[in-house]
Structure 1
Amino acid sequence: MFSFLWRRVLAGLATLLVSTFVMFILVSASMDPFFDLGQSTASNKQELIRQRIALLDLNTPVVIRYFKWLGNILHGDLGSAWFVGQPVSAVLHGAILSTIQLVTAATFLAIIFGVAVGIVSALRQYSSFDYLMIFVSFVLYSLPAFWVAVLLKQWGAIGFNDFLADPVLSWVAIAVIALLAGLLWSLAIGGDRRQRLLTFGIAFAATFATFAFLQLSDWWTHPSINPPLLALLGTATAFAVTTLSSGLKNRRALAASLTTVVIGLVLYLPVKVFFQNVQESWLMMIGLGVLAVAVGIGVGYAWGGPDPGVSARTAGITAFLVASMMFVNQVMRVWPAYYNAPAINGRPVPTIGNSTPNLGGNFWVQTLDSFMHLLLPTIALVLIGFAAYTRYSRSSMLEVMSQDYIRTARSKGLPERTVVMRHGFRNSLIPLATVVPIDVITLLGGAIITERVFARPGMGTLFLFSLTHAEIDPVMAYLVIVAALAIIANIVADLIYAGLDPRIRVNA
């Protein structure tokens, strides 16, 4: 393992050195450091040009300038963005933070939904649901990113903001939404005619009841996850997680998962009081999340069963999801104050930037504001990523399910859930182990089009601005970060291979 990592790190450093040298030469040749002085009519134009030459050290040969830049990088000096008059480290800090906020949610959601839908589509091959998902994924994959972003601005921001001014859904609209949900679930689950009708009825009733509750309880203006709703969502989560993790026949795992939901309900009011008497921070939230997972794992081991590790895993995942619901509830509680703030002016879904100027407010208000600014660009990236991951996971799952060891597992009488989740799903992730790390690194380099449309000051925006204004230090810092992350992504992909497939050894 260590010899493999050592070899890959050395090879990566060599690749990084060569790539930065080539890029420095190319960027230096393509930039015009006098773009703003070319048409200047200032009387001291020549003096300004001489000052620019001295500032950028342009009389020095480009190769020597590269090694000077490399020496500064090795000493922790990233240079300066001369056009904006700030050090590169300060400019990068805000851009990296903005991009990570956007990429984290978008990548996670795209992978979860894309892989889940792709696997269901593969298991329901040549069904109506499969054809529908193929059509939807190809449509989404072919849409230009800027066009998706513009449509989201029109309907997701302007349209939804207009709806919130008078949030009333007609009963006909609710019935149509419930009808579509029932049809989709019946196509996804399949089965004989009786099972399809049963699935349709349950999905229709659940969706209709949910939107009726939102309508009658005035949830749009005062959203929250109150204890009854938390109990309902938590119980559904416990059953869903147990079904995927161990199967409902594992009663100990189901009991452990449901116990974590009960603990969450018991702590609902104490947690609410706790947040009213402390100074909140993201470090505290992360710590509480880790504590929730630890409690869930402890509950799982306490229940035990044939395999205590399975119960612990199931309860830990459930505990994390229930804790996330409680966190979301705390954020929702400040919605009326946020919506009525003068800086928001009744238009809570923004279309540009990453924060609202002059908003003020406590931790929860600022968190809600960040979430609202992330909403539309995240949806744009999720839609495009969802299409790709659906196609990847479907084709990979189809290939795996046709293998001999799948037929062997079924012939031994293993339950279909075990065959799909343990033998099929895990092996179908191997091709995705190549795609996902590279996609994450690509997005960390900046979703340039999405950031430009939504005016988010991320890495992509920084790269375009620096390239346009001939600031070589920020451009090179950007390229170094992206290249280094790409090298790390390839190493991580190899390690994921070994974790997913025991036949693969990184020290071979």
Structure 2
Amino acid sequence: MVSFITRRILVSILVLVAASFIMYNLAAIAGDPLADIRESTSPNKAELIAARTATQHLDLIPPLRWLLWLGGVGKCVIGQCDLGTTFQGQSVSALLPQALGSTLQLVVFSFIIAIVLGVALGIVTALRVYSGFDYSVTLVSFFLYSLPSFLMAVLLKSFVALGYNNFLADPKIAVTTVIVVGIVVGAIVQLIVGGTAKRRLYAFLISGVVTAGLLALMSATGWFTKPSLGPVFVILFTAGIGLAIVSVLAGTNNRRAWLVGGINVLVAIVSYFALQGLLNVSTGGTILILAVAALLVGLVSGYFVGGYDRPLMMRIGALTAVLTAGIVLLDRFMRAWPAYSNSVGGRPIATVGSSTPTLEGDFWVHGLDTYTHLLLPSISLLLISFASYARYARSGMLEVLDQDYVRTARAKGLPERTVIVRHALRNALIPLATLVATDIGALLGGAVITETVFAISGMGALFNSGLGRTDVNPVMGYFLVIAITAIAFNFLADLAYTALDPRVRVR
């Protein structure tokens, strides 16, 4: 293992050096770095040209400038990184953390949701192959995958942000809209449920009526301007999360799983009522401590109740604890919505920037501000990424379901849930490990367009502005982050193979 890691690190360094040489020279010859000064009418034009030439070493050919840049990168080993300066004299080493923070805020949430949603839908469509649900998801996936990211961003700004902000001026839903939405939701649910015509009809009617009823109730009570879950829905949602996790991971006949899930659901419900005073004065640090405490409660409860299947019980406890704690936090954020909406003039869904300047409020108001600014760009990235994960998960699961060991597991009489979750799913995820690793770098790179449309000052803006002025140093800072991320996650993907497939060993 040590020799493998050492070889991979050495090869990665060589690849990084070679790629940086090509990238630096291409960026350096892409334009004239003195064009803006030459076109100006400044009386000290000659002095400005001389100053930039001296600070950026423009009197040297690009390969020699690359050697100087590489020497500055090498100082990172001793903690003294020197990635050069921009034309404005700003240190690239200081700009990168700020830009990277904005991009990570944008990318991480959409990336995680895309993986979870894409893999889940891909597996379900594989289990319901050639059904109406399968065809519907396939159609939507190909449609989303074919849309350019800039078009998706513009559509979201025009129809979602502006439309919803205008709707909040008079948040009343017409009866025809309620009926149409109920019919659409009912049609989707009956595709997911499948089965006999009678079963699908019941699913259509129940889901359609419930959806229409909820929309009518929300419209009548002014829920859109003063949203909250309230104790009843918090209890229902937390109980539903516990039920879903236990049913999927352990089945309905496992008493220990029910006990672990029930403990964590009960803890979440009690915490909802007991911690309201603390949540009202919470900060980011308080929330982090509470999140760690919830995770520990889940793991400890699973450990002590787990018995012969302790690892599974710990996973059930941790997932239940974290997701039910999320419901409690969601309710608290929703109750801060009126204060935030009033502070931004009643148009809360933002279309530009990553935050509202001079916004006043507590932790919950600022959290909502971050959420509303990242909502549309995150959805834009999510919809495009989700489509590819759904297709890969579907094809991987279909391939695994035809393997001999899956047929053997079924022949042994194992429940279908056990066959899918414990035997098929793990092996179906192997191709996705490679896709996820390569997609991370591409997602950071693809954020260039999304950040430009939504005016977010992240890595994309840093790269775009640097390339437009032939300012090589910020471009190379962007390249360095993307290249290191791609190399590191490809290395992690190789290691993930050993965890997903015991037949693969690192030698």
| Partner Cα separation in structure 2 for residue 445 and residue 79 of structure 1 | 20
Aligned partner (choices 286, 289, 308) of residue 287 of structure 1: 289
After the TM superposition, which of the residue ranges 91-100 and 32-41 deviates more from structure 2? Answer: 32-41
Structure 1 residue 213: deviation in Å? 4.0
Aligned to 1:317: 319
| Partner Cα separation in structure 1 for residue 83 and residue 109 of structure 2 | 31
After the TM superposition, which of the residue ranges 250-259 and 5-14 deviates more from structure 2? Answer: 250-259
- Matches of residues 434-445 of structure 1 in structure 2 within 5 Å? 434-445=434-445
Structure 1 residue 195: deviation in Å? 2.6
| Partner Cα separation in structure 1 for residue 498 and residue 81 of structure 2 | 37
| Contact 1:253/1:312 (8 A) holds in 2 | no
**Structure 1 residues 506, 439: closer, same or farther in 2, change over 3 A?**
same
**Structure 1 residues 146, 352: closer, same or farther in 2, change over 3 A?**
same
Paired residue type of 1:329: D
Structure 1 residue 218: deviation in Å? 2.5
Aligned to 1:126: 130
Aligned to 2:328: 326
**Structure 1 residues 205, 319: closer, same or farther in 2, change over 3 A?**
farther
**Structure 1 residues 440, 287: closer, same or farther in 2, change over 3 A?**
farther
Superposed CA offset, 1:283-320 (max 9, x none): 43233212101101222233335423322211210110
1:59 aligns with 2:72: no
Paired residue type of 1:439: D
Unaligned runs of 5+ in 1: none
Superposed CA offset, 1:92-150 (max 9, x none): 12210111001111111111111111111111111111111111111111112111111
| Partner Cα separation in structure 1 for residue 286 and residue 209 of structure 2 | 39
Three-state SS of the structure 2 residue aligned to 1:267 is: helix
| Contact 1:78/1:477 (8 A) holds in 2 | no
Aligned to 1:33: 33
| Partner Cα separation in structure 1 for residue 50 and residue 327 of structure 2 | 60
After the TM superposition, which of the residue ranges 198-207 and 436-445 deviates more from structure 2? Answer: 198-207
Aligned to 2:120: 116
**Structure 1 residues 362, 188: closer, same or farther in 2, change over 3 A?**
same
**Structure 1 residues 33, 113: closer, same or farther in 2, change over 3 A?**
same
Superposed CA offset, 1:339-383 (max 9, x none): 111xx1111001110011121212211111000001101111111
Residue identity (%): 44
Superposed CA offset, 1:177-223 (max 9, x none): 22222221221121222332333344234433433443344321111
1:10 aligns with 2:14: no
Aligned partner (choices 81, 84, 88) of residue 88 of structure 2: 84
| Partner Cα separation in structure 1 for residue 345 and residue 157 of structure 2 | 17
Unaligned runs of 5+ in 2: none
TM-score of the superposition, structure 2-length normalised? 0.95
| Contact 1:261/1:318 (8 A) holds in 2 | yes
Paired residue type of 2:226: H
1:94 aligns with 2:72: no
| Partner Cα separation in structure 2 for residue 149 and residue 123 of structure 1 | 33
1:414 aligns with 2:414: yes
| Partner Cα separation in structure 1 for residue 215 and residue 303 of structure 2 | 38
| Partner Cα separation in structure 1 for residue 7 and residue 493 of structure 2 | 15
Aligned to 1:467: 467
Structure 1 residue 46: deviation in Å? 2.5
Aligned residues between the structures: 503
**Structure 1 residues 115, 10: closer, same or farther in 2, change over 3 A?**
same
Structure 1 residue 39: deviation in Å? 2.1
1:207 aligns with 2:211: yes
Structure 1 residue 446: deviation in Å? 5.1
Aligned to 1:244: 248
TM-score of the superposition, structure 1-length normalised? 0.95
Aligned to 2:456: 456
After the TM superposition, which of the residue ranges 39-48 and 397-406 deviates more from structure 2? Answer: 39-48
- Matches of residues 82-481 of structure 1 in structure 2 within 5 Å? 82-278=86-282, 280-281=283-284, 283-341=285-343, 344-445=344-445, 447-481=447-481
| Partner Cα separation in structure 2 for residue 172 and residue 415 of structure 1 | 44
| Partner Cα separation in structure 1 for residue 357 and residue 88 of structure 2 | 21
| Partner Cα separation in structure 2 for residue 337 and residue 80 of structure 1 | 44
After the TM superposition, which of the residue ranges 96-105 and 398-407 deviates more from structure 2? Answer: 398-407
| Partner Cα separation in structure 1 for residue 107 and residue 499 of structure 2 | 24
1:495 aligns with 2:495: yes
Three-state SS of the structure 2 residue aligned to 1:37 is: helix
| Partner Cα separation in structure 1 for residue 169 and residue 315 of structure 2 | 44
| Contact 1:118/1:394 (8 A) holds in 2 | yes
Structure 1 residue 43: deviation in Å? 3.4
| Contact 2:69/2:84 (8 A) holds in 1 | no
